[in-house]
Amino acid sequence: MKKRKYIIDFIQKQKTVFVGSMDEDGFPNIKAMFTPRKIDGNCFYFSTNTSSMRSQQFLTNPRASIYFYHRGCFKYEGMMLTGTMEVLQDDNIKREIWRTGDTMFYKQGITDPDYCVLKFTAIKGRYYCDLKTENFKMEDLE
């Protein structure tokens, strides 16, 4: 498998991530979001609304997946990571990933009760490129 640095570099070049959660009936739900604002080891941090359906689903069932892809003229490359998602209300992490334009979504700023952070912890993944796939565990990456 590719090295951890390759995975992080690939993820940081993408503009969109697809986030998967499970609904109350056990069906997968997919949502497009902006890419992570912070990556720390196997943890990926996203900004979102506390009141969102996705946040509520993760509070009930933390199983999650995230998927990144790049579609070029001659090459398609994709990466799915599976793991768990936490809904964080900690002011320190909220402040750390806050961006200037966020007041458009969270009128009360960093302390807005509808502003939270999703922390995804990757356990394993699947990489696709040039008609080949490869499974990997995050703990095995260099």
Instruction: Give dist(CA 45, CA 36) in Å, integer.
Output: 5
C-beta separation of 140 from 127 below 8 A: no
Task: Domain count for the chain, please give it.
Answer: 1
Instruction: Find the domain containing 136 and state its range.
Output: 4-140
Instruction: Give dist(CA 37, CA 99) in Å, integer.
Output: 9
Sign (positive or negative) of CA dihedral 28, 31, 37, 39:
positive
Say whether pLDDT at 142 is over 90.
no
The pLDDT tens digits of the residues spanning 43-78 come to 999 999 999 999 999 999 999 999 999 998 888 999
Q: What is the CATH number of the domain that holds 48?
A: 2.30.110.10
**Backbone φ and ψ of 19, nearest 5°:** -110, 130
Q: What angle do CA 18, 21, 25 make, to 5 degrees?
A: 140
